[in-house]
Structure 1
Amino acid sequence: MPKKSKYSILSNVFYMIHYTWKKHEKKVLFGTFLIILGRVAIHLLELYISPVVIQMLETQVSFLQFSETLLLFLLGLFVAKGLVSYMTQVIKYSKITIRMELVADINQKEMTTSYPNVLDKHFWNLGNETRRAVNSNSSATEFIWTVLTDLFVQAICFVVFLYLLSTFNLWILIIIVVFSLVSYFLNLSVSRFEYQHRDEEGEMLKKVSYQTRLGENRSLAKEIRIFGIQNWLDEITTQVFSIHEGFRRKLQKRYLFSRIVNLLLIFLRDAISYVFLINSFMNHNISLAEFLLYLSTINTFASWVTGLLDQLYSLSQISNDISIVREFLEYPEPFLLDSVEAFPHSQNGLYEIRFEHVYYRYPNAKDYALKDINLCISPGEKLAIVGLNGAGKSTLILILCGLLSPTKGKVLLNGNDISQFNRTDYYSLFAAVFQKNMVLPGTIAMNVAQSHDIDYKRVEECIQKADLTKKIKSLPKGLQSKLNRTIYHDAIDLSGGEFQRLFLARALYKPASILVLDEPTAALDPIAESELYQEYNHLTQNYTSIFISHRLASTQFCDRILFIKDGSIQEEGTHDELLKKNGSYRKLYDIQSKYYQGGDEDA
């Protein structure tokens, strides 16, 4: 369904003024005001200089009076143009600063928003559109100052010229205003159509962007060549591009119709106005100086009306983009991120977490991913959560870590519902190694500490615990070695197992109470995975530890194992207890054992 802008034009203008004031860039406001005054002065001086000169020649004033008057006009123009030029340069970089402050706020929103928003398709579509409003000097959040300046100049001059025309012929005034209003509302209808279909175009642009990046994705290079899918990808790309081009073509037709009607209105408006003016002069109703003044006024007034309406139209478009920025920055947060409720810190750093009849269903999903989960995780316990892919293990962990909230049921921390606490405080309890981990474009030390404020002694201890010291010492720059070759040409690379140890060191560096390992070794072979899990077991003695895996043999050391199937806890116990039950856990364990034994024999 097409949407209307959530905020009015006036509301968005005041938002930008308030934001500019709040960011201590007041020079933009004062500079814009002075530029408006200077430009109005320039237009009025240029309007009157020729008629005044002709009038002085007709009345044969003295040379001294003629020279003084002309000099005053020229001096006024010099001062006004100098003021405009100077203030334009003064506020130029301040306008950029305001836009970059908004970019920083947008980045902050993306990085700190509640995790359910990360899964919200509308949130990310809105985010993509928001980037368009801040990505260049011509973007709405910077260009608004230019439009506001032009608008106020046009409005002030419109009032002055309105008065001049009203003293000549009221019908001319009415014709120019009516024709210009028709033109404006025609343009406005096109602008509204584009804004109301922004979500539709945003989805198209997302697909276009994805298809464009496919050719840049080196991970697909082998498949494209081996399976010969280049032509197939080209066909899909062409289809995606065609859909977007069709939408733009529909929009362009509306713009074309609007422009043709505008040109016709301009022709009729000028023809009628000139007939009236020439007729008045030929009948000696006005002098030559007045003829020149009214001719300039009519020509300029027509452009002022059109310009004023064009600026209003531009402001409406800019307001649409600013509305999108505001909608994104003010996007509702399902979690409490600024709660003042006291967080129940434990004196010994250990916590009990309890699930009470927890259900979870992803947005727009038909079935529950988790069903009636009842679970108590004791302080210091080593808990394994195992099961096949898609069983619901990772969803359970996301709820445990507070990244998702149950659709039904409660999660309790030491008996308190976690929904009442600042979610950021709750996050501080956890350190994690996930299946996919982010490598920061920075040094190894920075990647461990996740900060520029680095405790190098602690980094070295964590590197040693993660059995990565030998590798680090072999590097010429040691902990100062850079990672991420996309950013640094001299960055080093690590193997899959070395990266997993680096991520473990990162998790150990954080002073957390609960350590979560969500299938971090899924890309490793079973033997390497088993060895790494044994190290995890040794290194997590002082933590409440949660291990997630679909390989059952890797978590035998845990105090308790939950076997998850179809979103429910189907079996629970130690490894030996679950084998003795001869249930689903035993069947899957036997199948995996045979598979790995068979693989070893073949090798």
Structure 2
Amino acid sequence: MYKTKKYTLWSNFRFVFTPVWKEKRSYIRDMITGIILSVIVPVIGSMLSALVVGLLGESLSAVTVIAAILSAFVGYALVNAADTYIRQKHVYHHIEVRSQLFMRQFTKKICEIPQEQYEDSELKLLREKACDAVSCNNAGIEGLLRAVSAFGTGVLGLFVYMVIAGSIHPVILLLLFGLSVIGALCNSLPDWYENKIRDENARDEMTMQYIDRLSDDAISGKDIRVFGLKKWIIGKYGNAIKNTRRRNAKKNSIAFAGKSLETILTAGRDLICYLYLISQLKNGMSLTMFVFYLGIIGGFSAWFAQVSDSFAKMKYCSVHITDFRNFLNLGEDAGEKKIPQNQFKTVEVVFDHVTFCYKGAEKPVLNDISFSLKSGEHKALVGLNGAGKSTLVKLISGLYLPTEGTVYVNGIDTRELDREAYYRHESAVFQDTFTLAYSVAENVALNEQWDEEKVWECLEKAGLSQKVKALPQGLSTNLGKELSQDGVRLSGGETQKLLLARALYRDPSIILLDEPTAALDALAESEIYEIYNRTLADITALFISHRLASTRFCEEILLLSDGRIAECGSHEELMEQKGKYYELFLVQSKYYGEGGAADVD
């Protein structure tokens, strides 16, 4: 379970508005201006109604009355226009602040999360809730911005109206205030219930997003059709919608009950106040003041409702912001990160009694692993599927941290290592190929800006330059047809060569090859490994595979079995031992060329 903190509303207010004050001070200025104008407009409106009634009751000429009313309406229109302008301007400010100041933090954190945390289900739930804080207009960060503006307006408006209502009679003020408080409590029930069901809503939202991705994936689409999974998957989606709809229906029922009670209280309160004003009118109150006070009493409940609603909204949004801050704080206590003195110019990795266990698993996937990968050395890690090879490479790359023991990179524990700096000096080619629907050059450089000469050099080393030169647009040819009908699709072997060119473009100090040829046939795999061996001569490299095409290029071979290093040595040494490696090679060697098996004995 990840450690989380509970932040107060005030703490979350400061969290949001401190960077706003530093970087978007115009937002604060416009908000204050908007608050003042939003209160002035209804007060002027009430005064205007009273003025019209008063003028009609006076013995004035029609011209005078019309001129006075027109002047008042022009002034009101100007103030109202200014208020409308500020409101519209402020709408875009809300979105701008959320996107520029806080969405950026969320995206940055997503990229920084260690892989072992990123795959954890608890973190996925926290990430989903944190995402709500930066992706919605009326919740989280932007919801708080809007609610604070509404709250400030409500507080100022309520203060002005309380002063005016108190001048009628103190009892009227107490009646207005007391019944408004009760009504506000009734109105807060839906937000209370929504906070209660946030985790359930987030889980169902995760389910729907997962099925959306699954149904749009070309690879899974084949299995969905062949195995007839459509009904089952749609059923899962329907259940998530059904659960969400059920909770929303309950929330709406609570809101309806609260609103009904508030309406009854408001009607009773207004009736008492109106009866009192009528009695005062009979006792000599002017018609002008009577109309003015009617407007104030009617507006009082609106201001109080705005204060209570916006405060409830602030608390509701504060829950989202708390999730957002807890997400940002993941790993904040990790301490100062270290960089080796040689700045990763060369890389040496040491495993010291390393054990790794996935969260919730019954037993470790790696158990007490010790070995070293020296600078410039080529080492092979082999074993059957499920032996723990991919987990081990993720520990070397810094994507995972060990459960027990230590992984050292140039003498520094990976728990203390500046992994961001380390990533810039390592390359990896994984089993799951990652290509973008952009140009060949961008796929090699992984950037919109690239060094053309260097791209061609890397393609040449990887054995793909002739293929790229033959493409219609050369380096500018897009891969895939997702964004361009002129895009091309590379074969499996060509894709592996592209990924090697990408790895070389980074000038890595270490390269990790994690089952990169698993989708290729044995002969194509052998060709790819020939290229790897030729181009990676001076680079620290680890070749990981459940097949043995890579082993003949490596100084040392580690055979992983059941999470442990079962055998270790050169190809010749392991063949002489006639253990598990010998048995695997005996079975597989016949696929790598005629007479391969005959060379075993």
TM-score (normalizing by structure 2): 0.90
Match of 1:32 in 2: 31
Residue pairs, 1:532-547, within 5 angstroms: 532-547=528-543
Whether 1:427 and 2:427 are equivalent positions in the alignment is: no
Whether 1:343 and 2:340 are equivalent positions in the alignment is: yes
Match of 2:508 in 1: 512
Q: How far is the alpha carbon of 1:216 from its aligned partner?
A: 3.3
Letter matched to residue 347 of structure 2? Y
Instruction: Report the secondary structure of 2:553's partner residue.
Output: coil
Distance in 2, matches of 1:4 and 1:70, equals 60
Deviations along 1:505-550, one digit per CA (max 9) or x if unpaired, are 0011112111110001111111111221121111110111100000
Q: How far is the alpha carbon of 1:459 from its aligned partner?
A: 0.9
Deviations along 1:158-205, one digit per CA (max 9) or x if unpaired, are 111112222223333223322222232233343133224322221111
Residue pairs, 1:519-558, within 5 angstroms: 519-558=515-554
Closer, same or farther in 2 for the Cα pair 1:585/1:333, shift >3 Å? farther
* Contact in 2 for aligned 1:343/1:422 (Cα 8 Å): no
Letter matched to residue 111 of structure 1? C
Match of 1:150 in 2: 150
Deviates more, 1:117-126 or 1:363-372: 117-126
- Among candidates 565, 570, 586, match of residue 590 of structure 1: 586
Q: How far is the alpha carbon of 1:570 from its aligned partner?
A: 0.9
Closer, same or farther in 2 for the Cα pair 1:212/1:16, shift >3 Å? same
Instruction: Report the secondary structure of 1:371's partner residue.
Output: strand
Match of 1:302 in 2: 301
Match of 1:486 in 2: 482
* Contact in 2 for aligned 1:39/1:80 (Cα 8 Å): no
Instruction: Report the secondary structure of 1:167's partner residue.
Output: helix
Match of 1:330 in 2: 329
Letter matched to residue 417 of structure 2? F
Deviations along 1:75-110, one digit per CA (max 9) or x if unpaired, are 432332232233345445443322221223222211
Match of 1:132 in 2: 132
* Contact in 2 for aligned 1:559/1:574 (Cα 8 Å): yes
Match of 1:251 in 2: 251
* Contact in 1 for aligned 2:431/2:517 (Cα 8 Å): yes
Deviates more, 1:421-430 or 1:157-166: 421-430
Match of 1:376 in 2: 372
Letter matched to residue 277 of structure 2? L
Closer, same or farther in 2 for the Cα pair 1:513/1:91, shift >3 Å? same
Distance in 2, matches of 1:533 and 1:215, equals 35
Closer, same or farther in 2 for the Cα pair 1:226/1:374, shift >3 Å? closer
* Contact in 2 for aligned 1:384/1:546 (Cα 8 Å): yes
Residue pairs, 1:173-572, within 5 angstroms: 173-282=173-282, 284=283, 286-333=285-332, 339=337, 341-345=338-342, 349-572=345-568
Closer, same or farther in 2 for the Cα pair 1:240/1:258, shift >3 Å? same
* Contact in 2 for aligned 1:32/1:145 (Cα 8 Å): no
Closer, same or farther in 2 for the Cα pair 1:243/1:592, shift >3 Å? farther
Q: How far is the alpha carbon of 1:265 from its aligned partner?
A: 2.4
Distance in 2, matches of 1:507 and 1:334, equals 32
Match of 1:580 in 2: 576
Instruction: Report the secondary structure of 1:419's partner residue.
Output: coil
* Contact in 1 for aligned 2:440/2:476 (Cα 8 Å): yes
* Contact in 1 for aligned 2:190/2:252 (Cα 8 Å): no
Q: How far is the alpha carbon of 1:382 from its aligned partner?
A: 0.9
Instruction: Report the secondary structure of 1:228's partner residue.
Output: coil
Deviations along 1:322-371, one digit per CA (max 9) or x if unpaired, are 333333333334756x63x4522169x33332111111112222211211
Instruction: Report the secondary structure of 1:364's partner residue.
Output: coil
Distance in 2, matches of 1:113 and 1:225, equals 35
Deviations along 1:143-162, one digit per CA (max 9) or x if unpaired, are 54443333222211211111
Distance in 1, matches of 2:334 and 2:482, equals 34
Closer, same or farther in 2 for the Cα pair 1:21/1:116, shift >3 Å? farther
Instruction: Report the secondary structure of 2:568's partner residue.
Output: strand
Closer, same or farther in 2 for the Cα pair 1:272/1:355, shift >3 Å? same
Residue identity over aligned pairs, in percent, reads: 32
Residue pairs, 1:153-172, within 5 angstroms: 153-172=153-172
* Contact in 2 for aligned 1:430/1:515 (Cα 8 Å): yes
Q: How far is the alpha carbon of 1:381 from its aligned partner?
A: 1.2
Closer, same or farther in 2 for the Cα pair 1:278/1:596, shift >3 Å? farther
Residue pairs, 1:42-61, within 5 angstroms: 42-55=41-54, 58=57, 60=59
Closer, same or farther in 2 for the Cα pair 1:214/1:412, shift >3 Å? closer
Distance in 2, matches of 1:516 and 1:404, equals 14
Instruction: Report the secondary structure of 1:563's partner residue.
Output: strand
* Contact in 2 for aligned 1:34/1:83 (Cα 8 Å): no
Instruction: Report the secondary structure of 2:195's partner residue.
Output: helix
Distance in 2, matches of 1:56 and 1:256, equals 43
* Contact in 2 for aligned 1:562/1:572 (Cα 8 Å): yes
Letter matched to residue 29 of structure 2? F
Q: How far is the alpha carbon of 1:234 from its aligned partner?
A: 3.6
Deviates more, 1:522-531 or 1:450-459: 450-459
Distance in 2, matches of 1:545 and 1:359, equals 22
Residue pairs, 1:87-102, within 5 angstroms: 87-101=86-100, 102=102
Letter matched to residue 500 of structure 1? Q
Match of 1:114 in 2: 114
Distance in 2, matches of 1:255 and 1:344, equals 63
* Contact in 2 for aligned 1:466/1:504 (Cα 8 Å): yes
5+ residue gaps, structure 2? none
Deviations along 1:253-291, one digit per CA (max 9) or x if unpaired, are 333332332233233323333333333334x25332232
Letter matched to residue 174 of structure 1? L
* Contact in 1 for aligned 2:354/2:369 (Cα 8 Å): yes
Letter matched to residue 113 of structure 1? I
Instruction: Report the secondary structure of 2:482's partner residue.
Output: coil
Q: How far is the alpha carbon of 1:402 from its aligned partner?
A: 1.4
Letter matched to residue 155 of structure 2? A
TM-score (normalizing by structure 1): 0.90
Deviations along 1:182-231, one digit per CA (max 9) or x if unpaired, are 23223334313322432222111111222344443443444444443433
Distance in 2, matches of 1:36 and 1:56, equals 30
Distance in 2, matches of 1:215 and 1:116, equals 26
* Contact in 2 for aligned 1:45/1:73 (Cα 8 Å): no
Match of 1:6 in 2: 6
* Contact in 2 for aligned 1:116/1:334 (Cα 8 Å): no
* Contact in 2 for aligned 1:343/1:425 (Cα 8 Å): no
Distance in 2, matches of 1:146 and 1:553, equals 62
Give aligned pairs, total.
594
Letter matched to residue 275 of structure 2? V
Deviates more, 1:482-491 or 1:542-551: 482-491
Instruction: Report the secondary structure of 1:511's partner residue.
Output: coil
Q: How far is the alpha carbon of 1:47 from its aligned partner?
A: 1.5
* Contact in 2 for aligned 1:442/1:482 (Cα 8 Å): yes
Instruction: Report the secondary structure of 1:239's partner residue.
Output: helix
* Contact in 1 for aligned 2:492/2:520 (Cα 8 Å): yes
Closer, same or farther in 2 for the Cα pair 1:137/1:195, shift >3 Å? closer
Closer, same or farther in 2 for the Cα pair 1:430/1:197, shift >3 Å? same
Distance in 1, matches of 2:536 and 2:433, equals 19
